[in-house]
Amino acid sequence: MGDHHHGPAKGLKRWIFATNHKDIGTMYLWFSFAMFILGGSFAMIIRAELFQPGMQLIRPEFFNQMTTMHGLIMVFGAIMPSFVGLANWMIPMMIGAPDMALPRMNNWSFWILPPAFLLLASTLFMEGGGPAFGWTFYAPLSTTYAPPSVTFFIFGVHILGLSSIMGSINIVATVWNLRAPGMTWMKMPLFVWTWFITAYLLIAVMPVLAGLVTMMLMDIHFGTSFFSAAGGGDPVLFQHIFWFFGHPEVYIIILPAFGVVSQIIPTFARKPLFGYDSMVYATASIAFLSFIVWAHHMYTVGMPVSGELFFMYATMLIAVPTGVKVFNWISTMWRGSMTFETPMLFSIGFVVLFTIGGFTGLMLSIAPSDFQYHDSYFVVAHFHYVMVAGAVFSMTAAVYYWLPKWCGRMYNETMGKTHFWISFVGFNLAFFPQHFVGLAGMPRRIPDYALQFTDFNMMSSVGAFIYGGSQILFLYNVIATIVAGQPISDEKVWEGAEGLEWTVPTPAPFHTFAVPPQVK
Amino acid sequence: MCFKAKRRLTLALSSMSALLPLTAATAWAQDSKVNAINMPVGVTEVSASIYDLHMIIFWICVIIGVLVFGVMFYSIFAHRKSKGVVPATFHESTKVEIAWTVVPFLILLAMAVPATKTLIEIYDFDDAEMDILVTGFQWKWKYEYLQEDGENLKFFSNLRTPQDEIYNEEVKGEHYLLEVDEPLVVPVDTKVRLLVTANDVIHSWWVPDLAVKKDAIPGFINETWFKSTQVGIFRGQCAELCGKEHGFMPIVVHVVSKADYVDWLATKQSEAAEIKELMAQSFTLDELAERGKGVYQRSCLACHGANGEGGVGKAIAGSLLVTGAINGHLDSVVNGVPGTAMQAFGGQLNDVDMAAVITYQRNAFGNNMGDMVQPLDIFNFKKGQ
């Protein structure tokens, strides 16, 4: 390709001043993995405490800090940046662009993340402890009754919101402007489509989150009463604003995951994606619906019955486009010629477990039943099925799928498959019993529980340790691949792979598509 | 401090080694709630309709799941490369897409009908036979039975499980964490309307058997109701994260026969009258300290520690406030300390209990002040502000 003289700078400067989409993507991926391990270790502390009834290892106030930080770090530090990293690496290569449209902003949007999380993590060592009000930080527990460190939390959220908005603007600008000749909208790979839509969701709702934490800041330090009834405000207002951000947020997490799976399944089924058009429309419908269902997180706050009905019907509707997606993936597999390498295993695991999470989501949408499910472990089980078996499984699949392309070396397939099966068993052992205890009446976010929940909690803890431990295998496999994996040079890597990213050399050179390809 | 932490660690380790398979729960294996895997049917008509809805949607999901996963697993089994299958090339069909959009939509429509019916039933607050004001506090519930004559009966309901059970220094009782000092008592077959609110942060009043979960929001009053068809004891917990002791504010509802309810109410009212009488009397220091010890354990211990050593709250032992002028001490207990977790107990404790606990604090944990306050002093203090 004659690009070597444009190689990367040497040493630390390569990373600090990085403007190359692949380098920035790599940094995002490593950063998110570090956060995944940190958030995961908090989860291990939680599950160790819940291994049996009684307070064993930590105090209730620290337990609350752990559940809060686990949620915040996993959502904002692990899952979201990991998909941004993937977008950085793959979107230019998928649409035939030389780089992201705004490379310097790209650098900035990554480099403000580590300080933001340093700030957030440092609150754990502050007087009064870190945030202990749950990742949903409902007022007034997060305002009038919050530890002093809440101000640092607010600042941290501002910074990472800024990072997300800049990242999204970059993706939107790239997709609009840098598509190769002939790469029309309806030829774009589905991963690009899902991220394109996700980026708009982010631009729409991150400012809402920023506004919300600013209102908190005003309530705490400047004497306003947005969320205090004593001053004419309303604590429920907080929840409406939070979930107006929060519900689109869950689709921000899951849509790119849909995109990944829609790339991987056709490859290993050796058959084109079934219903490409309907997949695009379904993604857009889900994005639209995500804005009009927020109050289904709040069925018990005392809304009028008309409000409950509206949000119930709107929420039930989400099952339709989501169902379309699942049916399309299965039709893609149908009469294909399948093989089951690690990325395919994780994708099939995704389809099965995400669908289970979708079913419980449908159950949760039924407002009267939700009066029983709400804030119980049933909800915890539900969202871990969609967040972990959904987003994290698909992210894991993506790493195995594209890693050979990124570094020109093949990972160890046996170890990859082992990672999948341990993850699969551990995950289900951890989260399936949580449906039971939730239905039987165990509230979420409690550091100690009644004796009848003991057995399932023990199972859950054992499962969580297995799932957590399996990530060490993953880390080992990835490092071993990069350092000493078997070199490969086949451009396609996978027999059934289609798309522009598989037309560049393996490993992908520092600069790709300096000359735009012509798409037929 | 250090000694305590160490002891806790040894206890944790020893209980882990002793744990072996599933010790805690097996003792209560005869109780049907142990290892329950489903929602209770409950004891109200509403809870039964909710259970039915839950089961209908559950079976719909199971059937769809079996079909979808069945097709997928058949495909995984049959359409694999190792069997020499040549991939087909089809990749779209408008007809199928329409079918699998319309059919789920119709299923949802069918599901929406009973859901709507039940929801409207739940929202029918009319014809309540009695009203109870439920107020969430950090971390206890207050129940106030609203009476026509304004002579409301009110009391607090605190966790009864001792700290020693929570910290594994004693064997855990059958209703560990689900037991209170004063349960909510209501008559059977009576539509009870609850007005739910909170004093500090948001709580949520949840009893699974009654299928009631309603957020308690400071500054706002939510309505909900239940009508139990069975007598019995029903247990629940706060469902909304409300701070440190969120896991330790249970709810216990005793549903009793109508006759028993009348008796109970009469007893409670005469108790209230008795307290009124006591408030006019004088006590010795020992009497006050004795009573105060119980009050301390119910109301102060969670934050200030079993030996007054402090925790979330400041230490009582050797405290300058407690060993200072009585009025300063009274002020912070009656009115709370704004901006901290110290609540205003003036409205929570009656004057006798207030006098008792103040006296106890001044004379326990090495605070040998030797002085005391009488209920009448409390009354005058409150009146004087």
pLDDT exceeds cutoff 80 at B30: no
Cβ A366–B116 below 8 Å, yes or no? Answer: no
How many beta-carbon pairs under 8 angstroms link A with B? 311
Residue A15 lies in a domain: no
The H or E element that residue A262 is part of is helix A235-269
Token pair listed for B97: 């897409």
pLDDT exceeds cutoff 60 at B27: no
The residue that leads in pLDDT, B272 or A387, is: A387
Residue B339, pLDDT score: 64
B15 confidence band (pLDDT: 50, 70, 90): very low
Mark out the alpha helices in A440-513 (DSSP H runs). Answer: 454-484
Peptide bond into B59 cis (omega under 30): no
Integer CA distances (angstroms), A501 to A172, A402, A490, in order: 19, 9, 12
A residues 340..369 contacting B (CB < 8 A): 340, 348, 351-352, 355-356, 359-360, 362-363, 366-369
Q: Which of A146, A301, A419 is nearest to B339 (CA)?
A: A146
What is the three-class DSSP state of B355?
helix
Integer CA distances (angstroms), B169 to B8, B23, B162, in order: 9, 16, 10
Burial class (CB in 10 A: 0-12, 13-18, 19+), A113: buried
Q: Which of A374, A395, A389, A446 is nearest to A423 (CA)?
A: A389
Structural contact between residues B106 and A353, judged by C-beta atoms closer than 8 angstroms: no
Range of the domain at A291: 21-502
Residue A335 lies in a domain: yes
Distance from the first to the final alpha carbon of chain A: 22
Residue A7, pLDDT score: 74
Q: Which of B183, B213, B209, B181 is nearest to B196 (CA)?
A: B213
Residue A6, pLDDT score: 63
pLDDT exceeds cutoff 90 at B297: no
B130-268: CATH topology is Immunoglobulin-like (2.60.40)
Q: Which residue in B92, B93, B204 has the most chain A C-beta atoms within 10 A of its own C-beta, making it the best mutation to test that interface?
A: B92
| pLDDT tens profile B172-187 | 999 999 999 999 999 9
Residue A1, pLDDT score: 43
Average pLDDT estimate for B39-43: 94
Tally of CA atoms within 13 A in the half-sphere of B364 that contains its CB = 25
Q: Give CA–CA dist A44/A468, Å, rounded.
A: 8
Partners of A53 on chain B (C-beta within 8 Å) are: 24, 172, 176-177
Positions of A annotated as catalytic residues are: 70, 99, 135, 163-164, 247, 249, 251, 262, 296-297, 322, 325, 444
The H or E element that residue A102 is part of is none
Cβ B38–A134 below 8 Å, yes or no? Answer: no
Which single residue is written with the structure tokens 């207050």? B142
Residue A62 lies in a domain: yes
Q: How many domains does chain A have?
A: 1
B19 confidence band (pLDDT: 50, 70, 90): very low
Q: Give CA–CA dist A100/B129, Å, rounded.
A: 67
Average pLDDT estimate for B233-253: 96
Q: Give CA–CA dist B289/A312, Å, rounded.
A: 55
Q: Give CA–CA dist A223/A221, Å, rounded.
A: 6
| Amino acid residing at B23 | T
Mark out the alpha helices in A318-341 (DSSP H runs). Answer: 319-333
| Amino acid residing at B22 | L
Interhelix angle A80-95/A21-49, rounded to 10 degrees, is 150
Q: Which of B288, B282, B230, B237 is nearest to B257 (CA)?
A: B230
Tally of CA atoms within 13 A in the half-sphere of A363 that contains its CB = 30
Residue A183 lies in a domain: yes
Chain B: nearest CA to A376, how far in angstroms? Answer: 7
Partners of A145 on chain B (C-beta within 8 Å) are: 138, 200-201, 243, 341
pLDDT exceeds cutoff 70 at B11: no
Pairing of strands B192-198, B184-187: unpaired
Residue B325, pLDDT score: 86
In this complex, the residue of B81, B87, B92 whose CB is nearest that of residue A275 is: B92
Q: Give CA–CA dist A460/A437, Å, rounded.
A: 10
Q: Which of B76, B178, B176 is nearest to A268 (CA)?
A: B76
Structural contact between residues B205 and B194, judged by C-beta atoms closer than 8 angstroms: yes
A residues 366..395 contacting B (CB < 8 A): 366-369, 371-372, 374-376
Q: Which residues touch B68 (CB under 8 Å, ≥6 apart)?
A: A326, A327, A330, A355
pLDDT exceeds cutoff 90 at B327: no
- The CB-based long-range contact list for A323-327 (8 Å cut-off, 24+ gap) reads A323/A358, A323/B100, A323/B101, A323/B104, A324/A275, A324/A278, A324/A279, A324/A282, A324/B97, A324/B100, A324/B101, A325/A258, A325/A279, A325/A282, A325/A283, A326/A351, A326/A354, A326/A355, A326/A358, A326/B68, A327/A275, A327/B68, A327/B96, A327/B100
Residue B1, pLDDT score: 37
Q: Which residues touch A59 (CB under 8 Å, ≥6 apart)?
A: none
Token pair listed for B8: 């806790």
Partners of B1 on chain A (C-beta within 8 Å) are: none
Class of domain B280-384: mainly alpha
B28 confidence band (pLDDT: 50, 70, 90): very low
Neighbours of A495 (CB within 10 A): 12
pLDDT exceeds cutoff 80 at B20: no
State ipTM.
Answer: 0.93
Structural contact between residues A228 and A144, judged by C-beta atoms closer than 8 angstroms: yes
Torsion of CA B84, B86, B92, B97, to 10 degrees: -30
Structural contact between residues A269 and A183, judged by C-beta atoms closer than 8 angstroms: no
Question: Kindly report the CA angle at B47 between B45 and B52, in degrees rounded to 5?
Answer: 95
Residue A516 lies in a domain: no
Structural contact between residues A431 and A385, judged by C-beta atoms closer than 8 angstroms: yes
Q: What are phi and psi of A490, to 5 degrees?
A: -65, 125
Residue B31, pLDDT score: 52
A residues 408..437 contacting B (CB < 8 A): 435-436
Each residue's pLDDT expressed in tens, for chain A with a length of 520 residues? 444 556 788 889 999 999 999 999 999 999 999 999 999 999 999 999 999 999 999 999 999 999 999 999 999 999 999 999 999 999 999 999 999 999 999 999 999 999 999 999 999 999 889 999 999 999 999 999 999 999 999 999 999 999 999 999 999 999 999 999 999 999 999 999 999 999 999 999 999 999 999 999 999 999 999 999 989 999 999 999 999 999 999 999 999 999 999 999 999 999 999 999 999 999 999 999 999 999 999 999 999 999 999 999 999 999 999 999 999 999 999 999 999 999 999 999 999 999 999 999 999 999 999 999 999 999 999 999 999 999 999 999 999 999 999 999 999 999 999 999 999 999 999 999 999 999 999 999 999 999 999 999 999 999 999 999 999 999 999 999 999 999 998 999 999 999 999 999 999 999 999 999 999 8
Residue A349 lies in a domain: yes
Q: Give CA–CA dist B177/B172, Å, rounded.
A: 9
Token pair listed for A194: 């899902």
Burial class (CB in 10 A: 0-12, 13-18, 19+), A66: buried
Q: Give CA–CA dist B320/B327, Å, rounded.
A: 13
Structural contact between residues A343 and B86, judged by C-beta atoms closer than 8 angstroms: no
Q: Which of A120, A274, A272, A141 is nearest to A219 (CA)?
A: A141
Q: In chain B, where are the structural domains located? A: 45-80+92-122, 130-268, 280-384
Residue A2 lies in a domain: no
In this complex, the residue of A269, A320, A366 whose CB is nearest that of residue B57 is: A366
Which single residue is written with the structure tokens 């077959």? B189
Q: Give CA–CA dist B174/A488, Å, rounded.
A: 63
Residue A499, pLDDT score: 94
Q: Give CA–CA dist B46/B228, Å, rounded.
A: 9
Q: Which of B336, B366, B365, B363 is nearest to B349 (CA)?
A: B336
Chain B: nearest CA to A143, how far in angstroms? Answer: 10
Find the CATH number of the domain harbouring A304: 1.20.210.10
Residue A417, pLDDT score: 97
